[in-house]
Amino acid sequence: MTSLALAWRTARRFRAQTVLAIVGVAVIGALLFDMLLLSRGLLLSFSELLASGGYDVRIVGATGLAARAPIPDSDDLVARIDRLPQVERVASIRIESIALRVNNRPPDFATLIGSAETGPSLWRIVRGENLGSVAATSQRCPLVIGQPLATLRGLVPGATVFLTARPSGVVSALPPVVCRIVGIGEFTFAGVGDDTMATTPDAFNAVVSGSRVSDADVILVASRSGTPPATTAKAVEAIRPGLRVYSNDDVVAQFNQNGFAYFRQISIVLSSVTMVFAFLLVATLLTVSINQRLGEVAALRALGIGRRRIASMLLWESGLLVGTGGVLAVPLGELLAQILDRILKQMPGLPEQLHFFVFEPRAVVIHAAVLIVTAVAAAAYPVWLTARLPIAATLRREVLG
């Protein structure tokens, strides 16, 4: 009989102990798998979110990406960037805080985006029309509003609202501008519950400054096919030295260094803790099982079964427990990750489409490798215990006991 067959018969013989070990490893393995998903989940999700818009270079007017400051002479800059051979298209984004009033209700404070870009890089229409439609171009101030605000105020396409600019530190004396909602959308970088809306550049200028054209807060650039984003970024920087130009890779690297390091550190700590718990669980159960079967092991040794075969049997026992629990841990971890992801996404200020737990094959490989090491380490002490077992003394004790 092979070592695997002996291990399988032992597992079937001690069913309760086997089930307990498998369930314990599955739960602990699910937590370990989730920590592996968390370690790079935000990074992968953020990278996919940036790439989904089709723009691979960003220009900002402040030192940091999170800060916001106007880019001087942005219209001239956009025209010069658009003429670069490395550039496919360019979009100018303006952002301002505004007060929105519906009928005689108290105002809602929201974020207004002004841009000629109406593609999925900024928002996706779920009801009504987009800003480039015939219905929108016939309006002086067409609006696409986010779903949270539409749900909160019961707004639908065709409704009329009043917008007033709220520049930081300034009491606005501008009269409200009458705008009509043409569509309801999901904004790519809007946080959960954020009140975000978008309009055309002309309507944006009318709301925030009467007739004066304001400078852009962000400029998005899409490279031509086959042109590396880094090359496009260097070409843009050459137009106006001192510009703060970032490729998507630069943005991800900066956030990975500053914003996501906290979750990576948590993942490493919790992964280490869960691995220790898995080791202790399997090692304890195997040791208890061996202590109960010392006479049986001594008898097998007396019949001529060598130490290596006994050690192999114990390794197979550990492998069966950890392997079965590890396989069950993957779907269990996926289910748990979805629940935890929904909870963590309620944090204010995070884009709704950002995810904390993202599946990747790399996590499965690491998960399997950690469990293999755990199985081998957990069987080490029982193997050592059986290797130095005195056969005659053990059999005598079993008979006399």
In a domain, 65, yes or no: no
Amino acid residing at 400:
L
Check whether 213 has a pLDDT greater than 60.
Answer: no
Q: Same domain, yes or no, for 296 and 229? A: no
Residues 45 and 111 in one domain: no
Q: How do residues 55-91 score in pLDDT, each as one tens digit? A: 889 888 765 555 567 788 888 888 899 899 999 888 8
Q: What's the pLDDT score for residue 211?
A: 46
HEC string of 90-118 equals EEEEEEEEEEEECCCCCCEEEEEEECCCC
- For residues 237 and 267, membership in a common domain is answered with no
What residues pair up with 180 in beta bridges, in sequence order? 142, 160
pLDDT digits (tens, 9 = 90+) for 228-249: 999 999 999 888 887 888 888 8
Residue 62 forms part of a structural domain: no
Tokens of 8: 């399988």
Together in a domain, 126 and 8: no
Same domain, 81 and 196: yes
Structure confidence at residue 174 as a pLDDT band (50, 70, 90): low
- Assess whether 264 and 363 both reside in one domain: yes
In 3D space, the residue among 67, 149, 154 whose CA is nearest the CA of residue 112 turns out to be 149
Helices (H), 185-260: 201-209, 229-239, 248-258
Residue in 271, 279, 365 with CA at minimum distance from that of residue 25? 279
Q: What residue type is 368 in one-letter code?
A: A
108 and 167 together in one domain: yes
Number of domains in the chain: 2
What range defines the domain where residue 171 resides? 72-242
Q: What is the CB neighbour count within 10 angstroms for residue 116?
A: 13
Q: How far, in Å, CA of 37 to CA of 41, rounded?
A: 5
Domain end position, chosen among 242, 268, 300: 242
Residues 218 and 345 in one domain: no
- Higher pLDDT, residue 340 or 271: 340
What is the model's pLDDT at position 140?
Answer: 84
Strand pairing class (196-199; 108-114): parallel
Residue 321 within any structural domain of the chain: yes
Residue 373 lies in a domain: yes
User: What pTM was estimated for this model as a whole?
Assistant: 0.70
> Is residue 292 a part of any domain in this protein?
yes
Torsions phi, psi for 175 (to 5 deg): -70, 155
What is the pLDDT at residue 66?
53
Confirm whether 27 is domain-assigned: yes
Distance (Å, rounded) from C-alpha 76 to C-alpha 71?
11
**349 shares its domain with 380:** yes
CA distance 226 to 221: 14
Same domain, 338 and 286: yes
- In a domain, residue 193? The reply is yes
Same domain for 227 and 79: yes
**C-alpha angle 178-181-182 in degrees, rounded to nearest 5:** 130
Please answer whether residues 34 and 178 qualify as being in contact, where contact means their C-beta atoms are separated by less than 8 angstroms.
Answer: no
- Residue 84 and residue 218 in one domain: yes
